[in-house]
Amino acid sequence: MTLRAIIIGAAAGGGLPQWNCAAANSRAAWDDHRAPRATQSALAVTVDGDAWALVNASPDLRGQVLATPELQPRPATEAGLRNSPIKSVLLTNGDIDHVAGLLTLREGHTFDLFATPAIHAVLDANPIFEALARDRVARRPAALDAPFALLPGLTATLYAAPGKVPLYMEGETVETGIEGEQTVGVALSDGRRTLHYIPGCARMTPALAERLGGAAAVLFDGTVFHDDEMARAGVGTKTGARMGHMAMAGPEGSLAAFEGLDVGRKVYVHINNTNPVWDPRSPERARVEAAGWEVAFDGMEIVP
């Protein structure tokens, strides 16, 4: 039983290119088929190579299954001709880029859906998710800091990561650094090695830094390089902080936060289409690589 992960979607919400965007990275992707492209944020994990769990269900899930033979139906199983190796799905928050793909998973397949009680409440309040019939898709609440079996032989532990409520649930005032059930990271372990998946994190806390120390791999929020990157790219005024994402650069950024942390592999995931690290020739890419980071791409495999 060896943990194996595939980053099936490396981009943040919108993907690369984003359907309505002509800023530099998207423009390159529209114009040149060799330029980086990526689908929206999700991870697939297994320990036996047979049964798989998804961490987050991206709006691009159907294309991700098309691109990933491991996630495709087997020729015939005891379940019959309609089957899938996807046995469970875990959500790290209620954002559209992490839940919309649940609607792709209708069609009568049986699987377990894990999330914190707060995120289950968000799904419960949206009747469209009743398309996942509850007698087939068991909605399983997962408490923070309580390990559970995401798959046989694969233990998952959710923990609070500073963040906010989903964009579509924001009120007039928004707290962006809530530590609770709205945004979580997950530690995945096969009993020997631990991989952390944290696609959204508003800031590094001492408790989180301590938790990550010694991990074989950390797949971490790489939404923006600069906090004011959307403005720099000419596509808006929202900052990374306002979106609940810490930047890579700056004194409060992830590059600084991970300095001195003992982590085997550091991989940026959930990368926004405005982030200059998408360009392999950019100085920003050189900077993160010099600091020991890898930049995820669709199909990237991690055996921690």
Give the footprint of ligand MLT on this chain (CB under 6 A): 12-13, 95-97, 167, 200, 243-244
Helices (H), the chain: 24-31, 61-67, 96-99, 117-124, 206-212, 229-233, 254-258, 283-290
Using the minimum distance from each CB to Mn ion, give the nearer residue, 12 or 184: 12
| Contact between 233 and 24 (Cβ < 8 Å) | yes
Q: Smallest gap, in angstroms, from Cβ of residue 145 to ligand MLT?
A: 23
Q: Find which of ligand MLT, Mn ion, none residue 96 binds, CB within 5 to 8 Å per kind.
A: ligand MLT
Using the minimum distance from each CB to ligand MLT, give the nearer residue, 166 or 276: 166
Q: Smallest gap, in angstroms, from Cβ of residue 200 to ligand MLT?
A: 5
Whole-number Å distance between alpha carbons of 49 and 94: 28
Using the minimum distance from each CB to Mn ion, give the nearer residue, 3 or 118: 118
Whole-number Å distance between alpha carbons of 157 and 148: 7
Our CA dihedral for 129, 10, 275, 220, rounded to 10 degrees, sits at 90
Distance of CA 50 to the CA centre of its chain: 21
Q: Find which of Mn ion, ligand MLT, none residue 35 binds, CB within 5 to 8 Å per kind.
A: none
Using the minimum distance from each CB to Mn ion, give the nearer residue, 3 or 16: 16
Q: Find which of ligand MLT, Mn ion, none residue 243 binds, CB within 5 to 8 Å per kind.
A: ligand MLT
Q: What's at 67, amino acid-wise? A: A
Say which DSSP state 260 is in: T
Q: Find which of ligand MLT, Mn ion, none residue 60 binds, CB within 5 to 8 Å per kind.
A: none
Q: Smallest gap, in angstroms, from Cβ of residue 1 to ligand MLT?
A: 32
| Contact between 129 and 148 (Cβ < 8 Å) | no
Distance of CA 215 to the CA centre of its chain: 18
What are the E-state strand segments in 124-279?
A: 137-141, 148-151, 154-160, 184-189, 194-198, 217-221, 265-269
Whole-number Å distance between alpha carbons of 55 and 44: 6
For residue 200, the SS3 value is coil
Q: How many helices (H) and strands (E) does the chain have?
A: 8, 14
Q: Smallest gap, in angstroms, from Cβ of residue 12 to ligand MLT?
A: 6
Distance of CA 214 to the CA centre of its chain: 21
Residues near Mn ion (CB under 5 A) are: 12-13, 95, 97
Using the minimum distance from each CB to Mn ion, give the nearer residue, 95 or 190: 95
Q: Smallest gap, in angstroms, from Cβ of residue 14 to ligand MLT?
A: 7
210: left (phi over 0), alpha (psi -120 to 50) or beta: alpha
Using the minimum distance from each CB to ligand MLT, give the nearer residue, 140 or 238: 238
Q: Find which of Mn ion, ligand MLT, none residue 17 binds, CB within 5 to 8 Å per kind.
A: none
Q: Smallest gap, in angstroms, from Cβ of residue 22 to ligand MLT?
A: 18
Using the minimum distance from each CB to Mn ion, give the nearer residue, 95 or 181: 95
